[in-house]
Amino acid sequence: MDSIKIDGIEFYGYHGVLESEKTLGQMFSVNCEFFMDTSRIYDDIENTVNYADVAIDIREFCENNRYDLLEVLCNDLSKYILCKYDKICELKLSIEKPHAPIPTKFSNVSINIHRKRVIAYLAIGSNLGDRENFLSMVFDEIQKCSYIKEIKRSSFIETIPYGVEDQPDFLNGAVKVETIFTPFELLDFCKNTERLAGRKATRRWGERTLDVDIISYGDEVVNDENLKIPHVEMHLRDFVLKPLFEIEPYYYHPVSKKYIREMLMEIK
> Could you tell me the domains of the chain?
2-116 (3.30.1130.10), 118-267 (3.30.70.560)
Other Cβ atoms closer than 10 A to 195: 12
Estimate the share of the chain in helix, then strand, then coil, as percent rounded to the nearest 5: 30, 30, 40
Separate counts of helices (H) and strands (E) for the chain:
7, 11
pLDDT of residue 268: 77
For residue 41, is pLDDT > 90? Answer: no
User: In whole numbers, what is the pLDDT of the chain averaged over residues?
Assistant: 94
For residue 14, is pLDDT > 90? Answer: yes
Q: Position 223: which residue type?
A: N
What is the reported pTM? 0.92
Q: 235: which residues sit within 8 A by CB, 6+ positions away?
A: 241, 253, 256, 258, 263, 266, 267
pLDDT of residue 167: 78
pLDDT for 110-150, tens place per residue? 999 999 999 999 999 998 989 999 999 999 999 999 999 99
Mean pLDDT value of segment 207-219: 93
Catalytic site positions: 97
Query: At 206, is the pLDDT very low, low, confident or very high (cuts 50, 70, 90)?
Result: low
Q: 155: which residues sit within 8 A by CB, 6+ positions away?
A: 173, 243, 246
The whole-angstrom separation of Cα 234 and Cα 215 is: 7
pLDDT for 148-200, tens place per residue? 999 999 999 998 887 677 778 889 999 999 999 999 999 999 999 999 999 87
The whole-angstrom separation of Cα 155 and Cα 161 is: 18
Q: 76: which residues sit within 8 A by CB, 6+ positions away?
A: 65, 67
pLDDT of residue 140: 97
Cis-peptide into 230, omega within 30 deg: yes
pLDDT of residue 200: 77
Q: Is 185 exposed, middle or buried (0-12, 13-18, 19+ CB in 10 A)?
A: middle
